[in-house]
Structure 1
Amino acid sequence: MTAPDETHERGPVRPGGDPTGTLEVRAPGTLAAEPEPETAVRTAGGGHGPAVPAEEPRADGRRRRPVRTSLIVLVAIVVAAAAGLAASGVLGGDDGDGAAQAPTGPAATAKVKRTTLTDAETVAGNIGYGEASTVQAVTGAGSGQGGGGGGAGILTWVPEAGDTIERGENVYSVNQLKTPLLYGNIPFYRTMRAGDSGSDVKILEANLKALGYDGFTADSTYNAATAAAVQDWQDDLNREQTGEVEPGDAVVADGARKVAKVQAAPGAAPSGPLLSWTATERVVTVELEAQYEDLVEVGTKAEVVLPDGSTVEGKVTDVGAPSNVSDDQSGEDGGAGGSEGDQEATLPVELTVKDQKGLGDYQAASVDVTLESESRENVLAVPVNALVARDGGGYALEVVKPSAPHGVEYVPVELGIFADSMVEVSGAGITEGTVVGVAK
């Protein structure tokens, strides 16, 4: 007889009616222990493995991403768990008791699907115009700025924040003489004249051609024909027509620019930083945790989710060098600097968005960026919880086959990538539409 102040509970029953647990005696008003949560992969005996560690080190020393490795770690854990369940006879064992194996199929099933699996990670990013650069006044300006050099002259015009400046347009004026923007990847650093050659000459000639000046060949040689085109250009800028170009005669940047901040005012001497500017098209920047560095390279595609829920496609165009960011830099700890243990390595990543209209009116906003690291098309896949750990290692699927003993057959499979709670599988007899058991 059971005492009136006690409660008995029995553990789960295996197919065939044998109890797998023991009686638990509890005092009234106490609660039974919570069952362990169901994991993604089943063991051969139908049970489940333990929880998965957050991450493990890669063979090359770098930490792998927890999202991509947790299932792989689970594989090793469940294999060990399966060995202890071999006596159940589910995968070929024989315990001599046929009545203990119920001739019933799985409680829940799914079909093998042919699909595309994409391994991806979503991280935080920001819309903006990219990193700003500074326009410095050029000392030693010559004929174009009134002669004399040494930054001689007075600023007579500067742009306003938010202005867009394109090729040939004025960046700033000294003594009412314009200093135009030219496109290129190196600044003018010497006086160019007939007889010179080099990459700076090539930049100058390419810009003169783009601005409509002709009569010369756009190559890397500054000859008399180039000098004549320069004189025409100087005449249009109301400058002295010397046929020579000095460092302060133009500002060189890699494209059109958007003025972010103006640091000088008309009436001042042209010295030091005059203004800062950015690219004219919005980009998405991400400070990527170093553990995710295997996700990105130039050309990696990404989906950008805007604050209103709409999406645009982005592409990685720049991956910077890793840097350590200390928790103390946020000011939360009030310290002067963090130790190495407090630092987190990050990787600056920039993505371009071709569909600028798709970004709407957002000039600066926080966004979610989903980076795609690997994609497999036209593969067979099943839910992760359809996997069964085999005695001795490896995995199988519990294929529903009415003609087989107990209504199922365990078919060994090879695993591919994991994505979206699915796993790529391949094996003899595994085809699209095959019905397999899954953990409920």
Structure 2
Amino acid sequence: MHSKQFDHAQEGPATLNRRRFILAGAGVAAAALLPHVASAAQTQDKSRADSAAHSPSSLEKRKLGKLEVSTVGLGVQNMSRKYETTVPYRPEMIDVIRTAFDNGVTFFDAAEAYGPFEVERILGEGVAPFRDKIVIATKFGWNIDQETGKRLPGLNSRPEHIERVVEAMLKRLRTDRIDLLYQHRVDPEVPIEDVAGAVKKLMDKGKVLHWGLSEMGLKTLRRAHAELPVTAVQSEYSMLWRGPEKEVLPTCEELGIGFVPWSPLGVQFLTGWIGANTVFAPGDFRSTETRFSPENLPHNLALVELIKEWAERKSAAPGQIALAWLMAQQPWIVPIPGTTNKAHMLQNTGAAAVSFSPAELAELNASVASIKIVGKRLPDRVQAFSDVEAPPKK
């Protein structure tokens, strides 16, 4: 489970029916302003092709190690299935990806586990017209049957499996190389030196350009970096979950490693989308996170109220405040908010234009720190895959 990146709105619903009503209304409004029908997307393709020779410049760049990317990326995890388990309309997802590029986004994040496989296919189709102008990040590491896509127990980072996974990724992504390849979770059965060695062989063949780790133990990060320089670490980080601040971010700064926060909007919470009376749809994994339980959610909403105050103060959307806050922490932090809605994607990328003076940032940091979030970010069975240390090399 990863990259919890989601659609974003500004106000929370009181009930599930209310939430669906708002979604329907937003869809109608968006349709009036931003055509999503397949025929409209097709008519836009020619203009995109005509402009493909020009790199977008509406977003500034940041460095993850030596890898240059747009200040804000796009996570595409939910483009095959949303949190409430509905399946998005594929032509709309292609349009979101291509409109993101038109507006300066050059950093797109996927994984073989999303779908499984299907999100990489969607991303490959979406970025095909401008593949050489963007950075594709994807992830290996879960134990997934490469023929059927069936999820098998546990993890699999055996070198021979990594090679098979990457070959399949390249086909799904319609490309000859992966710009940034992460180990999705640390395999407790495979020394990280062996993983680095497998990735190095792929680099030597030009099939992988950079590599990274996700939700790893700190000792494993240091061992991995010593074996093969790590470009980026991807872990959950937001105003709602600040765990990386204690040790992970200082280690990244020390080693010159970039940081990519997944779930930078707190699975929609920081946008104001989740309210005190929100009822999650059956199958929505957020119902398993105790930070959103009926006894904890009302307390945690104090953070949302703070964000809304700052949104009014800065004439911005709440989600933009949350993203701008992340980017203000370090110049080598690049959030990857995800969405299946074009209007929300445009709003998210607009966060790059929101800035804080040193005094404002100090004030906001102090206010965020004063709010103690209660409840866990993940159920124990999922959290067990994070902060794992790889076994020693024999």
Band the TM-score falls in, shorter-chain normalisation: under 0.3
Larger proportion of strand: 1
TM-score by length of 1: 0.21
User: Structure 2 length normalisation: TM-score?
Assistant: 0.23
**Considering only CA atoms, is the larger Rg found in Structure 1 or Structure 2?**
1
Greater helix content: 2
